[in-house]
A = this chain, B = another copy of it.
Amino acid sequence: MSEKNHNEPSPWPLDSVVTELRQVRHEWRERQGRETDLGTRELPAHRHIHEVIDALCGILFPMRLGPSDLKKESEDFYVGHQLGHALNILVTQVRLELSCQQPRLESQAQDRKANEFVRRFATMLPALRRQLDQDVIAAYRGDPAASSVDEILLCYPGLLAIIHHRIANVFYVEGLRIIARIIAEKAHSVTGIDIHPGATIGSHFFIDHGTGVVVGETAVIGERVRLYQAVTLGAVRFDEDDQGALTKGEPRHPIVEDDVVIYAGATILGRITIGRGAVIGGNVWLTRDVPPGSRITQAVLRQSVDDHPSGG
């Protein structure tokens, strides 16, 4: 006869696993030269940044991205209330990133810098909304299938990505790199569109479908540019053994001038310039400048064979 409760999981070796995990962390931190100061180094947290961004979406487009029961008469109250709430959370996160960057700066100076940045950020919001309105219009014009501007705001991942990017870019420009990247990755995870917060993007920008789009840190995109899914605006990489690491920040991604259209799957690499009004066809691979007004397409290859390898 068993007196043992058969539902009872055996005790786990918690103590030994915890001890070993501590040891591994210790080794890592020693190697990284961090054992001494980590206790006082916190970083911006996904949860809080995500809350701020979700609030900002509602602040910028209250009747479309705000709460579903919002009425027009309450708009300003909602906007002001959310704004105060979001800025209070944000200032703490900004403070954390600043104190990581400059751990030796005096506490009050860090507070002051964080406050100043957040106040400045708040005043930029109306211009941001105005800019995003132009992106909405660009999307509405860019996709003949769109039935209304409301559909753009509610259903286009490309617009969500550009909202996130325009916010993230403000943080990037101020040197708040981790917050900027957390915002960009939020958009990447939801939309499959990976725009580095450092990219410079002009007005009336539109991405359709979007999954797999990659836009690099030093890319410069003009006005009224349109991208489709799986477009890459990347860097040319050279073998590290031969050339060493690229210097960070040096321009290494394409310049895309005004009114360019780049169709799905095109890969455009290096600090080349796609001239004004050029149209880059789908799946094209480009590493040299393209003059204004060009039409670049992939040569089409077709053949019927017995042996047909294919990627499953």
Contacts and interface: CB of A to CB of B under 8 A. Distances in A.
Contact of A154 (B178, B191, B208): B178
Contacts of A188: 157, 192, 211
B88 A81 contact: no
Nearest to A184: B155
Nearest to A177: B147
Contacts of A7: 7, 107
B68 A47 contact: yes
A12 B155 contact: no
Nearest to A247: B144
What is the total number of copies of this protein in its complex?
6
A26 to B, nearest CB: 10
A269 B18 CA distance: 42
A75 B119 CA distance: 18
A59 interface: yes
Contacts of A6: 6, 107-108, 111
Contacts of A212: 192, 211-212, 229-230
Contacts of A23: 126
A106 B214 CA distance: 48
A40 B4 contact: yes
A151 B181 contact: yes
A63 interface: yes
A81 B85 contact: no
A6 B114 CA distance: 12
